[in-house]
Structure 1
């Protein structure tokens, strides 16, 4: 078993640890260098020092990528958490003024809800922090914790998932489902007719059941999916072209009815309302800027 030098702390600095974590995350020296705004030669030099300090190869080349050793796989996640908490402690003492800040805030949200949710969110935040920048990005469900820990996102808005500390969450929005059909369809949308139709599913994930299908399966109901797309706007166009049905949150349905000339129905099957949660990482919960952003979500009337 590899033995770490007894005087390890006297040999290492935080920048070296940041390099180790970046290489572990990116699996390539060039990408790690770009992430840290360093040259590839500086990253290579840092890696040589890390290998000497830990008396371990840390990364082994495998084709175009670097494969972490067992020791590296054990160290990197814990070091990443420690570095994040140190950054959070440092940020606690930094003054923050929303009126003058030029900080870039990154807000993760599914593409499917971006068109309806982000404009209102942006207008609200921009009024209070006019010099700040707000960026929307897609965050995979399985990587919410990593995005938050690595500050690739400050907060994430998504459906309720089984997240535990250090990922924190609170309810943001609860809304019933509605159904869209072509405007010329004059029938009454009953449960039987809903299940007899084909449906458009919306998800940014490549596979797996969408939320409404998971809820329907809980009550023993399944529907036939005609097509799966990434945005409600695309799905609405398909509804008008194919006659399939689209199930979606009521707020988004109201917006698309006029835009695409569709007809809106109440959901004919009793399923729970869709819930959106706000996620952030506890390592940064004392960051004054994040504290402000979380408070603004409390003040913003999204319901």
Structure 2
């Protein structure tokens, strides 16, 4: 393979990754800011080069072939590392940068974390744009690799290399109950009550229930919602209990007729981690963002 051919193939790999990621030729063209005919022409050349159809139509989507599925994970990381290599040689000057930074933050804790982060970052990089997005846990690695998010803030997850992580904060859980109920909260009353769960996921066990199961106990869930704001409103107008991180509880008791109680069981603290992809670790802009978010949030969130 001569040098010219090699360069062309590297450019075409971006097309291959875009089709794989978007699932449609038109959407891949839009993502790369090129015409659909250019995408079709590139796909034809890729098929000839690999001697494989690479994608087959399945209704409205382009489904990857076995060969394509086998190649794509390493190919995506290769392209990400190439991009990072170019970025490494460029200085990041926050005061002049026009870059868009995306932070993956669960909806349940976005109201607590993003305003704090944004107020600090926008002072340091006034021309940058900052966005908060939700990332399903199953898509965390791919989202960070594809730079759909630069970093993510979430609870401790069982995820390893090439996703990197660092501890951000930890704080205890507490319980909120409507203020009119003055009775002492005990283990028996906690387990006999109905509870409100908060999660941005459509299904799956929430963190508090995992921790309670480690103690050999189960609680009775009455309702599941997406935000602590909604949960607090429900808690204030019912007998249901809301178990949540203390910092969030401290804000909610100023907005709703609620009273804060210690959890009457020895459950572990909630821990937040900062996540990013190793392929982009050398990017000066990402390093700046990681350091600033850590500096802002670590002291802002209570620690035991």
* TM-score, with structure 1 as normaliser: 0.95
Q: Does residue 74 of the first structure (1) align with residue 70 of the second (2)?
A: yes
Determine the C-alpha separation between the residues in 2 that align with 1:8 and 1:183: 73
Q: How many residues are aligned here?
A: 298
How far 1:268 moved relative to its partner?
1.1
How far 1:8 moved relative to its partner?
9.8
Residue 250 of structure 1 aligns with which residue? 246
Determine the C-alpha separation between the residues in 1 that align with 2:51 and 2:4: 14
4+ residue segments displaced more than 4 Å: 6-9
Residue 3 of structure 1 aligns with which residue? none
Gap change, CA 1:30 and 1:8, over 3 Å in 2: farther
Residue 285 of structure 2 aligns with which residue? 289
How far 1:126 moved relative to its partner?
1.2
Determine the C-alpha separation between the residues in 2 that align with 1:9 and 1:108: 39
Determine the C-alpha separation between the residues in 1 that align with 2:2 and 2:242: 63
Determine the C-alpha separation between the residues in 2 that align with 1:287 and 1:293: 10
How far 1:162 moved relative to its partner?
1.4
Q: Deviations over 1:47-90 (max 9, x none)?
A: 11111111100001111111110110011111100000001110
Determine the C-alpha separation between the residues in 2 that align with 1:137 and 1:264: 30
- Determine if contact 1:158/1:276 at 8 Å carries over to the other structure: yes
How far 1:155 moved relative to its partner?
0.3
Determine the C-alpha separation between the residues in 2 that align with 1:28 and 1:124: 39
Residues 252-291 of structure 1 correspond to what in structure 2 (within 5 A)? 252-291=248-287
Q: Does residue 159 of the first structure (1) align with residue 155 of the second (2)?
A: yes
Determine the C-alpha separation between the residues in 1 that align with 2:134 and 2:266: 30
Q: Does residue 133 of the first structure (1) align with residue 126 of the second (2)?
A: no
Determine the C-alpha separation between the residues in 2 that align with 1:128 and 1:246: 37
Q: Deviations over 1:123-173 (max 9, x none)?
A: 111111111111000001111100100000000000111111111000001
Residues 115-264 of structure 1 correspond to what in structure 2 (within 5 A)? 115-264=111-260
Determine the C-alpha separation between the residues in 2 that align with 1:56 and 1:7: 21
Gap change, CA 1:119 and 1:58, over 3 Å in 2: same
What SS is found at the alignment partner of 1:173?
A: strand
- Determine if contact 1:21/1:77 at 8 Å carries over to the other structure: no
Residue 30 of structure 1 aligns with which residue? 26
Unaligned runs of 5+ in 1: 1-5
Residue 57 of structure 2 aligns with which residue? 61
Gap change, CA 1:9 and 1:246, over 3 Å in 2: farther
Q: Which deviates more, 27-36 or 54-63?
A: 27-36
Q: Does residue 10 of the first structure (1) align with residue 5 of the second (2)?
A: yes
Residue 95 of structure 1 aligns with which residue? 91
Determine the C-alpha separation between the residues in 2 that align with 1:195 and 1:30: 53
